[in-house]
């Protein structure tokens, strides 16, 4: 029953994210009333947030444990969709990056559609996850993944339409990289606490290191005026590496210490 | 104001460097985990203070932005070097009771830890190929607890280990191990890896990594430096690059005379 309710809410949320995306497009932006531009994202965010809260309540009721619902890929994706909007709003206010809302709504819509389609899993909270590093590790990664998704979309547009979005992409890379660094190294310190080693060359660890090195390269390219134009390629490959990191071991059932 | 800020940062950096040196020395010699922990705490406090100063400086001192960016740059790269050194020492100098088994096809499997039975007293544990850890007392597993969810998946493992006097049998030290919460005994870090289904034994992984604190200090410096370096200077983007970006995009659109489908 909860699963059906969650899917209905996520479906509606995806619709509203889609509507928000259309409203944010320059083509329609002027003709859409301002209140709709606020109402659609707000409705999508509330519905998406409700599913997140339902997941949390479900954990407490069925397992008697109040843990943040980041345990399965599905639960993480529900939060990722929220993150895209949260990060979009923050970026818009703090860095005054205007005219890029559509990318954040598009990313949220795609992720929410994904959560509607994929099997919702609600798993137990195993001993290995009961750590102080669990929440910061996931939070940092979710923030960086949402920025990676948006960065890749903007970079793709810059490549296809041959537009100059490098200053915005540079800011996104600079916002993304510290969170990815924190996520990666919190994970390493956590691994030492749980498995007794900082790094195990596990398949997911290797892909996450590749993604981190990719963005490290992008950041260094942005520091060199002559090489800036190549950084956008790394913004696209970075998102591809993030997707592989996030889904590879889980979807393809590759043996990994990080399968969940 | 700016001078005061610079002096504070320099003092903190100096204290941090001294504390790190102490941590390195004490951690490498394995003389005192308490001193190493204290050194590490000082390093972390100094770095956190630098972070707080940075936030304050960025808010109240306009000229501090580029300075913070530079400091972050140095801290980040210094942290990366410390981390790499720590990882190399970890790789070379860690001793543990993990063993590598090679099967008939040449595939290697690493098994971490040994099975300890409840109620038995252990005098020593084989660590590495030849070395024994000789505890100054009997090392004993006092009890094991295992909880599971309704579907049978594990919920919580817990084991209690004690050090008992060899003569009198009195308990000298008692530690509770859970997954994610290893404990130190005689300078060795002891991890609970698994428990037996009948709760009469537990697999304990025993490890001594002299560079553990160095790695953690490197991680702390790297993360702090990355945030300092990347998050400062974004305000200047607002005024300069932001406008440039918008202008560049508009110019790009106008030159191609396409328009219509722009985001």
DSSP notation for B14-66: HHHHHHHHHHHHHHHHTS-HHHHHHHHHHHHHHHHHHHHHHHHHHHH-TTHHH
**Tens place of pLDDT per residue across chain A (260 aa):** 677 888 899 999 999 999 999 998 877 777 888 888 889 999 999 999 999 998 888 877 776 666 778 888 888 999 999 999 998 888 887 777 778 888 999 999 999 999 888 877 667 788 888 888 988 999 999 999 999 999 999 999 999 988 888 888 988 999 999 999 999 999 999 999 999 889 888 888 889 999 999 999 999 998 888 888 889 999 999 999 999 988 877 777 777 777 66
Specify whether the CB–CB gap between B141 and B120 falls below 8 A.
yes
Instruction: Supply φ then ψ for residue A70, to 5 degrees.
Output: -120, 20
Question: In chain A, which residues fall in CATH 1.20.120?
Answer: 1-125, 128-260
pLDDT of residue B182: 92
pLDDT of residue B188: 84
CA-CA distance, A180 to A177, in Å (whole number)?
Answer: 5
This complex has an ipTM of: 0.89
Give the architecture-level CATH label for domain A128-260: Up-down Bundle (1.20)
User: Is the Cβ of A71 closer than 8 Å to some Cβ of chain B?
Assistant: no
User: Is the Cβ of A155 closer than 8 Å to some Cβ of chain B?
Assistant: no
Span B95-208: which CATH code?
2.60.98
CB contact under 8 A, B263 and A189: no
Give the architecture-level CATH label for domain A1-125: Up-down Bundle (1.20)
pLDDT of residue B131: 62
Residue B89 CB contacts under 8 Å (≥ 6 apart), including other chains: B28, B210, B211, B214
CB contact under 8 A, B263 and A182: no
Q: What's the rounded mean pLDDT across residues B152-179?
A: 87
- CB-closest option in A102, A131, A170 to B180: A131
**Could you tell me the pLDDT band of residue B191, with boundaries at 50, 70 and 90?**
very high
Percent of chain B, pLDDT > 90? 15
Instruction: Supply φ then ψ for residue B120, to 5 degrees.
Output: -90, 145
CA-CA distance, A233 to A156, in Å (whole number)?
Answer: 8
CA distance A1 to chain B (A): 20
> What's the pTM value of the predicted model, to 2 decimals?
0.81
pLDDT of residue B64: 65
pLDDT of residue B59: 59
Specify whether the CB–CB gap between B202 and B145 falls below 8 A.
no
SS3 call for B155: strand
CB burial of B135-174 (b: ≥16 within 10 Å; e: otherwise) equals bebbbbbeebebeebeeeebbbbbbbbbbbeeeeeeeeee
- CB-closest option in A99, A171, A198 to B237: A171
**Could you tell me the pLDDT band of residue B133, with boundaries at 50, 70 and 90?**
low
Q: What's the rounded mean pLDDT across residues B189-194?
A: 90
Nearest residue in B to A21, CA atom: B263
* Strands B131-148 and B114-117, bridge-based pairing: unpaired
């Amino acid at each position: 029953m909860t699963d059906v309710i969650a899917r209905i809410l996520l479906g509606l949320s995806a619709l509203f994210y889609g509507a928000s995306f259309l409203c944010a497009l320059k083509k329609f932006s002027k003709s859409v009333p301002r209140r709709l531009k606020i109402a659609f994202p707000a409705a999508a965010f509330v519905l998406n947030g409700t599913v997140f809260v339902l997941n949390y309540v479900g954990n407490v009721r069925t397992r008697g444990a109040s843990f943040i619902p980041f345990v399965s890929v599905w639960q993480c994706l529900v939060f990722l969709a929220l993150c895209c909007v949260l990060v979009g709003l923050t970026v818009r206010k703090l860095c005054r990056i205007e005219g890029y809302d559509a990318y954040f709504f598009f990313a949220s819509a795609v992720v929410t559609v994904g959560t509607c389609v994929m099997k919702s899993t609600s798993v137990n909270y195993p001993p290995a996850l009961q750590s102080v590093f669990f929440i910061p590790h996931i939070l940092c990664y979710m923030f960086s993944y949402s920025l990676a998704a948006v960065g890749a979309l903007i970079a793709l547009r810059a490549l296809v339409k041959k537009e100059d979005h490098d200053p915005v992409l540079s800011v996104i890379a600079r916002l993304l990289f510290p969170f990815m660094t924190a996520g990666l190294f919190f994970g390493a310190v956590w691994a030492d606490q749980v498995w007794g080693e900082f790094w195990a060359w596990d398949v997911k660890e290797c892909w996450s290191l590749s993604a981190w090195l990719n963005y490290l390269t992008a950041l260094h390219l942005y520091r060199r005026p002559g090489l800036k134009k190549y950084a956008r390629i790394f913004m696209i490959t970075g998102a591809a590496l993030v997707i592989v990191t996030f889904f590879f071991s889980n979807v393809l059932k590759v043996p990994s210490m990080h399968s969940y | 104001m700016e001078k005061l800020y610079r002096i504070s940062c320099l003092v903190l950096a100096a204290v941090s460097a001294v504390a790190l040196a102490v941590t390195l020395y004490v951690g490498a010699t394995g003389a005192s985990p308490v001193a190493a922990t204290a050194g590490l705490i000082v390093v972390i406090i100094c770095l956190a203070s630098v972070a707080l100063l940075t936030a304050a400086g960025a808010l109240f001192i306009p000229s501090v932005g580029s300075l913070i960016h530079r400091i972050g740059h140095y801290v980040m790269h210094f942290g990366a070097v410390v981390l790499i050194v720590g990882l190399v020492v970890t790789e070379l100098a860690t001793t543990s009771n993990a063993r590598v088994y090679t099967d008939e096809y040449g595939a290697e499997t690493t098994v971490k830890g040994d099975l300890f039975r409840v109620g038995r007293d252990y005098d020593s544990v084989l660590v590495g190929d030849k070395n024994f850890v000789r505890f100054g007392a009997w090392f004993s597993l006092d009890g094991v607890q295992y909880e599971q969810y309704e579907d049978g998946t594990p919920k919580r493992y817990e084991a209690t280990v004690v050090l008992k006097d060899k003569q009198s049998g009195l308990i000298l030290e008692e530690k509770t191990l859970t997954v994610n919460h290893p404990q130190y005994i005689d300078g060795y870090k002891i991890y609970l890896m698994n428990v037996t289904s009948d709760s009469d034994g537990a697999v304990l992984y025993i490890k001594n990594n002299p560079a553990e604190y160095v790695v953690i200090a490197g991680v702390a410096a790297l993360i702090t430096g990355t945030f300092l370096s990347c998050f400062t200077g974004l305000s200047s983007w607002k005024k300069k690059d932001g406008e440039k970006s918008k202008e560049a995009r508009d110019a790009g659109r106008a030159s191609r005379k396409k328009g219509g489908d722009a985001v």
